[in-house]
Amino acid sequence: MGKLYIVPTPIGNLEDITLRAVRILREADVVLAEDTRTTSVLLKHLGLEKRMFPHHKFNEHAAVEAVAERIAAGETVALVSDAGTPGISDPGFLLARTCIEHGLEIETLPGPTAFVPALIQSGFPADRFCFEGFLPQKKGRNKRLEQLREESRTMIFYESPFRVVKTLEQFTEFFGADRPVSVSRELTKKFEETVRGTLAEVADHFRAREPKGEFVIVVSGAPGRRKSNQQEEDEA
């Protein structure tokens, strides 16, 4: 039997790929890539030439069974996305679940993902947090925000540069203008920057300076409600 390897790739700085990820990519029979052109650039940088197949949100439903068959037949398959960890706001979950259902072996390598450095950069509590990824753009957006209004854990969102200001304004509405926020952009890249302040201040900042690049928004949990693990243990 073969194996599915889920292989994180850099979110900007190509030095961030692990030695093991390079070896797995080298040894895999086939690489499944979200965008084969993007992955070609990485493979070329690593001096690798591989058989590649596209695996993205538009074909993953139709493709997963065939991939599982390949693995059952003995092939080693490496799944990568355009950047970061497959399955984190990227295709990956469906294939992992299908392989598990078929009793196939899967192995996920640790490696780059945007939300971990953004969370730690924020300086907000990281002992417990919730990753929200991209909020729904229309239907269900307000409901989701309503549900998060009293969330006491640090909250992490992915957002496109075109919607950052609008989203910060909406957060102000739901979480209050004084709620602390940390916005990290272009992590690991040349113009990496983290802007911290209240929601009102950071929204002002990005109204004055056009948001460019890739963004992670980290919002502090609801004040007064957050208990440390120790407090909860003491109360239990």
End-to-end CA distance of the chain, in Å? 47
Q: Does 33 bind ligand SAM (CB under 6 A)?
A: no
DSSP class of residue 9 equals: B
Tell me the residue nearest to ligand SAM as measured from the CB: 84
- Token code pair at residue 83: 């950047």
Rounded CA-CA distance 218/123 in Å is 10
Cβ–Cβ under 8 Å, residues 203 and 174: no
Confirm or reject binding of residue 83 to ligand SAM (CB under 6 A): yes
From 80-88, 102-110, 135-143, 226-234, give the range in contact with ligand SAM by CB under 6 A. Answer: 80-88
Nearest 10 degrees: Cα torsion 42, 4, 115, 136: 100
- CA dist., res. 137 & res. 215, Å (int): 16
Give the shortest CB-133-to-ligand SAM separation in angstroms: 8
As to burial, measured by CB atoms within 10 angstroms (0-12 exposed, 13-18 middle, 19+ buried), residue 170 is middle
Mask for 150-179, x = binds ligand SAM (CB under 6 A): --------xxx-------------------
2 is a contact residue toward ligand SAM (CB under 6 A)? no
From the CB of 10, what's the least distance to ligand SAM, in Å? 9
Four-residue CA torsion sign, 200, 201, 206, 207: positive
User: Does 90 sit near ligand SAM (CB under 6 A)?
Assistant: yes
Residue 11 in tokens: 């979110």
Rounded to the nearest whole angstrom, what is the least distance from the CB of residue 91 to ligand SAM in the complex? 9
Minimum CB separation of residue 161 from ligand SAM in Å reads 8
String of contacts with ligand SAM for each residue 178-217, x by CB under 6 A = ------xxxxxx------------------------xxx-
- Residue closer to ligand SAM, measured from CB, 70 or 203: 203
The Cα–Cα gap between 77 and 9 comes to 15
Which residues form the interface with ligand SAM (CB under 6 A)?
Answer: 11-12, 81, 83-85, 88-90, 113-115, 158-160, 184-189, 214-216
